[in-house]
Amino acid sequence: MSSPVSPPGDDLIFLDETVRAPDATAPASGGNVWRVMIIDDDADVHSATTFALGNLEMQHRPLEFLHAYSAAQAREMLKDEQDIAVILLDVVMEQEDAGLQLVRHIRETEGMTEARIILRTGQPGYAPEIDAIRDFDINDYKTKSELTRIKLFTTVTAAIRSYEQIRAINASRRGLELIVRASTELMAQQGLENFAAGVITQIAGLLSLKPEGLLCVQESANNHTDNLIVIAAAGHYAGLMYKPVDEINDPRIVAALKEALHTRRNIYGADYTALHFAGNARHDFAAFLNTGEPLNEIDQRLLEVFCSNISVGLDNVLLVSRLHNFAFYDPLTKLPNRTRLIEILGEKLAGPDAGEAILALVDIDHFAETNDALGHQFGDLLLLAVAARLKSRLDDAFTLARVGGDTFGVLGDGLLVNPATILLQFEEPFRIDGQAVQLSATVGLVRLADYEGSGADALKDADIALKRAKLQQRAGHFYFSRSMGVDIRERVRMMYALRAAFDEGRLFVVYQPQIDLATRLPMGAEALLRWKTEDGTFISPDRFIPIAEYSGLIIELGEWVMREACEELVRLRDIGYTDFMMSINVSQVQFRHPHFLETLRAVIRDTGAPPAFVELEITESMAMEEPYLLIKLLEQIKQTGISIAIDDFGTGFSSLSYLQQLKVDRLKIDRAFVTEITGSARGSSIAEMVIQLGRNLGLSVIAEGVEDERQAQILTALGCPQAQGFLFARPMAVEQLKDWLKTDGLR
Ligand code: C2E
Ligand code: CA
Ligand code: CA
């Protein structure tokens, strides 16, 4: 029956006039038919097939035929065809395997995976390989002689069933994908309205309809359909947003929605569909869609799946919105909180208009005191008043957030968000509980222009600027500068590294001998802390001591140095250096710690170090702060027998009488003045004055940083009794120190 190679035109010529020449390009008549494509180069097969199947109807849907008379023509037609349920395909056409190649084309190139394919061939012996049947998802393989009218009928019926099932499976898979996408988008959208609107567009997409519909939520304590509000509306219904359903001027819609909610079922009308989404105890949802025609069974089933899944989604959205409110909004002021501000900042930074934007942190001065003095309730009212004023006085083109107890974040254009405008809001008193309360605020600002960090970084930087502003003065402001941030972040990194180094024993103490200038013999040593990092580099104490002070680690660290030095002192005494003094640096932070004296006594007691041979070095700047406390503390220290030196002497401006009151034992001439003495030929230098001062007050004097012989000689000539410096010895580890004492120490 099949003629292997015949051009398509020939077949058309031989067509029986009584058979209606099928118009292969006739548009598909919607979703109401099963479309069957016949591809065969034998016109008789076409007519025989349409005759055999012509009055087949499945689920009230008739068949519609498409005809192609060659593989080439089929390819052409398939370009614009979708929704073909069954393809009856001749294997041998232009080529021996034209049909099989066409199958590959249908499945792979056109991506038509749902259409069922029934292969037909005239030659009984000519069977395609099993592989091809499996690989290309071919439904059936029949020789033409096998396909009697009845056989053809049952084969096509089975194929349509199978097509329908595949469609349903794929459709619900798509539905599930939609739900997955919906919930992902939901996270991004955050908000019931957005989600609900998404539901409508997705259903419309699923049914290949224009989004024409609305979704309403029923909020009720009881089970009546009261409080039915539209929360999403698309297409014609857009104007109905947030309207009570009862106000909708279309009884058909109102009735359909209520029926769906009441019966808790989907309602499929002739030209509309009302869907029910079972919510939790307090909420049910219903959607109305203008479908224009009744939905077929697949679409209906699909919607059932969709609705039950979406219900979970809607419930989650409600939950998520509520959680969202908790997570992102401050419950007191209802303003976005810190987390939300970071998000907004992130969006701003990613967007095009970050350039002019400024983030300001506005901190209410002395809020904690006010809160303590007048109570939390008053404090809350105060915060509300500040929030309200900032919100009303500034434009609405900015974001106001509450980022901390008494700190607000203001994000917006620099024209609006600047210290002058913000601080102006605090000039007038706030009226709280009938009282006028005058407040002031401090502002830290960061410009988002060219900002590279994240939203969180920007907030951190604004925080840094705020702290800086507070340090300087209250009711002031400070703009963040890059160096500030690097500085602080670097310090934080170093703080962690220092802590780790201390815990892992990578800190150690070295000792730098101190010399009697008259005899050039060692009389003691200064204990100096060292940090050798894992890669072997040394970090200067000038860098890490301030960090240890800043982080409080200095308390532990300082005690440890004291113990090490005292233990070493005891060991040195054990091997005969009984006149040896040990100088220990004490930081201001350590000194001010309430347990300092206790710690010092404990160290002396535990190590058995003789206090008379222990000296504490405190800096001159430290000696100048809180004089009366210091005088008292120094007296207590002196009672233990420990002596005191003033380090870096000459850099501060201690008054003489104060120095006398402090009852210190030794002055340490700062290295800067020692370096100076060789430069100035003139006799009177600061070093000289310090030496004289020491003599007049009866204090010992030591010059530090003596690097060359000339300096040593001048100092000796000026009557400086002691010196320390690279000329005599560098700071050394314990073992080296012992060696040095044996040889150079010339004991
Ligand atoms: P400082 O107390 O003034 O210590 C003297 C510093 O001068 C030491 O630096 C020492 O190595 C250095 N030096 C000694 N002789 C010479 C010299 O001839 N020429 C020059 N150019 N430098 C000399 P280092 O060890 O780097 O210590 C720096 C600062 O770190 C110390 O200044 C002290 O303020 C602090 N520091 C060191 N160890 C401790 C400690 O255990 N506790 C506390 N609180 N501070 C410490
Ligand atoms: Ca020192
Ligand atoms: Ca010094």
Residue nearest to atom 11 of ligand 1 (CA): 731
Residue nearest to atom 35 of ligand 1 (CA): 541
Question: Which tokens go with 654?
Answer: 């201690």
Residue 388 lies in a domain: yes
Ligand 3 centroid to Cα of residue 527, in Å, is 12
Residue 648 CA: nearest ligand 1 atom is: 3
Q: Is the CB of 510 under 6 A from ligand 1?
A: no
Q: Which of 137, 171, 205 is the last residue of a domain?
A: 171
d(CA 284, CA 667): 84
| Count of beta carbons in the 10 Å neighbourhood of residue 325 | 12
Ligand 2 centroid to Cα of residue 589, in Å, is 15
pLDDT for res 625: 58
Residues 166 and 195 in one domain: no
Q: What is the pLDDT of residues 637-685, one digit of tens each?
A: 999 999 999 998 866 545 556 677 778 899 999 887 888 787 655 545 7
Ligand 3 centroid to Cα of residue 402, in Å, is 47
d(CA 210, CA 101): 37
Q: What is the pLDDT of residues 117-137, one digit of tens each?
A: 888 876 655 555 556 666 667
Q: Is 666 helix (H, G, I), strand (E, B) or coil?
A: strand
Q: What is the pLDDT of residues 591-607, one digit of tens each?
A: 878 899 999 999 999 99
Q: Is the CB of 711 under 6 A from ligand 1?
A: no
Residue 62 lies in a domain: yes
Ligand 1 centroid to Cα of residue 545, in Å, is 11
Cβ-based neighbours of 617, under 8 Å, separated by 6 or more: 526, 583, 584, 585, 586, 645, 646, 647, 668
Ligand 2 centroid to Cα of residue 587, in Å, is 10
Residues 217 and 138 in one domain: no
- H or E segment at 284? strand 283-290
Q: Is beta strand 140-143 parallel, antiparallel or unpaired with respect to 213-219?
A: unpaired
Ligand closest to 669 (CA) is: 3
pLDDT for res 3: 38
Residue 707 CA: nearest ligand 1 atom is: 18
Residue 590 CA: nearest ligand 1 atom is: 44
Q: Which of 300, 328, 356 is the last residue of a domain?
A: 328
Q: Is the CB of 512 under 6 A from ligand 1?
A: yes
The average confidence (pLDDT) of the chain is 80
342 close to 455: Cβ distance less than 8 angstroms: yes
Residues 275 and 229 in one domain: yes
Q: For the domain that residue 440 is a member of, what is the CATH number?
A: 3.30.70.270
Residue nearest to atom 25 of ligand 1 (CA): 528
d(CA 66, CA 263): 43
Residues 467 and 508 in one domain: no
More confident residue, 122 or 236: 236
Q: Is the CB of 619 under 6 A from ligand 1?
A: no
Residues 623 and 695 in one domain: yes
Residue 3 lies in a domain: no
Residue nearest to atom 46 of ligand 1 (CA): 585
β partners of residue 269: none
Q: Is the CB of 211 under 6 A from ligand 1?
A: no
Residue nearest to atom 22 of ligand 1 (CA): 705
478 close to 378: Cβ distance less than 8 angstroms: no
Least confident of 224-238, 298-312, 421-435: 298-312
Residue 584 CA: nearest ligand 1 atom is: 41
Residue 727 CA: nearest ligand 1 atom is: 18
The residue range of the domain holding 538 is: 495-742
Residue nearest to atom 16 of ligand 1 (CA): 705
Q: For the domain that residue 721 is a member of, what is the CATH number?
A: 3.20.20.450
Residues 16 and 165 in one domain: yes
Q: Is the CB of 587 under 6 A from ligand 1?
A: yes
Cβ-based neighbours of 388, under 8 Å, separated by 6 or more: none
pLDDT over 90 (residue 307): no
d(CA 554, CA 573): 28
Ligand 1 centroid to Cα of residue 502, in Å, is 19
Q: Is 281 helix (H, G, I), strand (E, B) or coil?
A: coil
pLDDT for res 308: 67
Looking up tokens 């099989």 gives 100
706 close to 668: Cβ distance less than 8 angstroms: no
Q: Is the CB of 725 under 6 A from ligand 1?
A: yes
pLDDT for res 744: 75
Q: Which of 417, 448, 480 is the last residue of a domain?
A: 480
pLDDT for res 16: 33
Residue 527 CA: nearest ligand 1 atom is: 41
Q: Based on DSSP, count helices (H) and strands (E) in the chain, helices before strands.
A: 26, 27
Count of domains for the chain: 4
- H or E segment at 73? helix 71-78
Q: For the domain that residue 222 is a member of, what is the CATH number?
A: 3.30.450.40
Q: What is the pLDDT of residues 1-12, one digit of tens each?
A: 333 333 333 332
Q: Is the CB of 513 under 6 A from ligand 1?
A: no
d(CA 88, CA 116): 9
- H or E segment at 467? helix 455-472
d(CA 737, CA 743): 10
Looking up tokens 């003691």 gives 524
SS3 string, 605-633, reads HHHCCCHHHEEEEEEHHHHCCCHHHHHHH
Residue nearest to atom 20 of ligand 1 (CA): 705
Q: Which of 244-248, 272-276, 629-633 has the highest mean pLDDT?
A: 272-276
pLDDT for res 132: 62
Residues 156 and 197 in one domain: no
Q: Is 179 helix (H, G, I), strand (E, B) or coil?
A: helix
d(CA 625, CA 629): 9
Residues 382 and 303 in one domain: no
Q: Among 550, 640, 646, which Cα is nearest to 599's?
A: 640
d(CA 218, CA 286): 8
Residue 489 lies in a domain: no
Cβ-based neighbours of 89, under 8 Å, separated by 6 or more: 39, 40, 99, 102, 103, 117, 118, 119, 120
585 close to 544: Cβ distance less than 8 angstroms: no
pLDDT for res 290: 87
Q: Is the CB of 547 under 6 A from ligand 1?
A: no
Q: Is the CB of 650 under 6 A from ligand 1?
A: no
SS3 string, 538-577, reads EECHHHHHHHHHHHCCHHHHHHHHHHHHHHHHHHHHHCCC
For 273, 596, 668, 677, 680, the CA distances from 720, given in Å and listed in that order, are 104, 32, 11, 13, 17
> How wide is the angle at C-alpha 264 spanned by C-alphas 258 and 267, nearest 5°?
65
Residues 508 and 397 in one domain: no
Q: Is the CB of 540 under 6 A from ligand 1?
A: yes
Q: Is the CB of 80 under 6 A from ligand 1?
A: no
Residues 412 and 539 in one domain: no
pLDDT over 70 (residue 726): yes
User: Which amino acid appears at position 230 of this protein?
Assistant: V
pLDDT for res 293: 83
Q: What is the pLDDT of residues 23-64, one digit of tens each?
A: 333 333 445 889 999 999 888 889 888 888 888 887 788 999
Q: Is beta strand 614-619 parallel, antiparallel or unpaired with respect to 581-585?
A: parallel
Residues 323 and 343 in one domain: no
User: Which amino acid appears at position 351 of this protein?
Assistant: G
Q: What's the rounded mean pLDDT across residues 218-246?
A: 73
d(CA 745, CA 576): 13
pLDDT for res 702: 97
pLDDT for res 542: 84
SS3 content of the chain, % helix, strand, coil (to 5): 50, 20, 30
Q: For the domain that residue 112 is a member of, what is the CATH number?
A: 3.40.50.2300
Q: Is the CB of 538 under 6 A from ligand 1?
A: no
Residue nearest to atom 32 of ligand 1 (CA): 542
Q: Among 37, 53, 298, which Cα is nearest to 164's?
A: 298
Ligand 1 centroid to Cα of residue 557, in Å, is 16
156 close to 36: Cβ distance less than 8 angstroms: yes
Residue 211 lies in a domain: yes
Ligand closest to 564 (CA) is: 1
Q: Is the CB of 718 under 6 A from ligand 1?
A: no
Residue 415 lies in a domain: yes
Q: Is 668 helix (H, G, I), strand (E, B) or coil?
A: strand
> How wide is the angle at C-alpha 144 spanned by C-alphas 140 and 147, nearest 5°?
70
pLDDT for res 191: 60
Question: Which tokens go with 697?
Answer: 């007050």
463 close to 444: Cβ distance less than 8 angstroms: yes
Per-residue exposure over 83-118, b if at least 16 CB sit within 10 Å of its own CB, e if not = bbbbbbbbbbbbeebbbbbbbebbbeebebebbbbb
Whether the full predicted model's pTM is greater than 0.75, yes or no, is no
Percentage of the chain beyond pLDDT 70 is 78
Ligand closest to 540 (CA) is: 1
Q: What is the pLDDT of residues 78-95, one digit of tens each?
A: 988 878 999 999 888 888
d(CA 48, CA 46): 5
Q: What is the pLDDT of residues 168-189, one digit of tens each?
A: 767 656 655 655 555 555 444 4
Q: Is the CB of 726 under 6 A from ligand 1?
A: yes
pLDDT for res 689: 78
Residue 215 lies in a domain: yes
Q: Is the CB of 707 under 6 A from ligand 1?
A: yes
d(CA 529, CA 545): 9
Residue 179 lies in a domain: no
d(CA 615, CA 102): 99
Q: Is the CB of 712 under 6 A from ligand 1?
A: no
Residue nearest to atom 13 of ligand 1 (CA): 705
d(CA 439, CA 368): 12
**pLDDT band with cut points at 50, 70 and 90 for residue 327:** low
Could you give the residue ranges of the DSSP H alpha helices within 19-58?
A: 43-53
Ligand 3 centroid to Cα of residue 51, in Å, is 111
Percentage of the chain beyond pLDDT 90 is 30
Q: Among 248, 247, 284, which Cα is nearest to 265's?
A: 284
Q: Is the CB of 546 under 6 A from ligand 1?
A: no
Residues 254 and 222 in one domain: yes
pLDDT over 50 (residue 624): yes
Q: What's the rounded mean pLDDT across residues 262-280?
A: 86
**pLDDT band with cut points at 50, 70 and 90 for residue 226:** low
Most informative mutation of 530, 585, 707 for ligand 1 (most atoms within 8 A of CB): 585
β partners of residue 435: 432
d(CA 85, CA 82): 9
Half-sphere exposure of 496 (CA within 13 A, CB side): 5
Residue 529 CA: nearest ligand 1 atom is: 38
Q: What's the rounded mean pLDDT across residues 566-574?
A: 97
Q: Is the CB of 529 under 6 A from ligand 1?
A: yes
For 490, 499, 566, 584, the CA distances from 532, given in Å and listed in that order, are 18, 13, 22, 20
**pLDDT band with cut points at 50, 70 and 90 for residue 410:** very high
Q: What's the rounded mean pLDDT across residues 538-566?
A: 90
pLDDT for res 17: 30
Ligand 3 centroid to Cα of residue 648, in Å, is 4
Could you give the residue ranges of the DSSP H alpha helices within 351-437?
A: 367-374, 376-393, 419-424
- H or E segment at 648? strand 643-649
pLDDT for res 725: 97
Q: What's the rounded mean pLDDT across residues 287-298?
A: 82
Ligand closest to 648 (CA) is: 3
How long is the chain?
Answer: 747
d(CA 269, CA 265): 13
Cβ-based neighbours of 718, under 8 Å, separated by 6 or more: 677, 687, 688, 691
Most informative mutation of 507, 528, 666 for ligand 1 (most atoms within 8 A of CB): 528
Q: Is the CB of 528 under 6 A from ligand 1?
A: yes
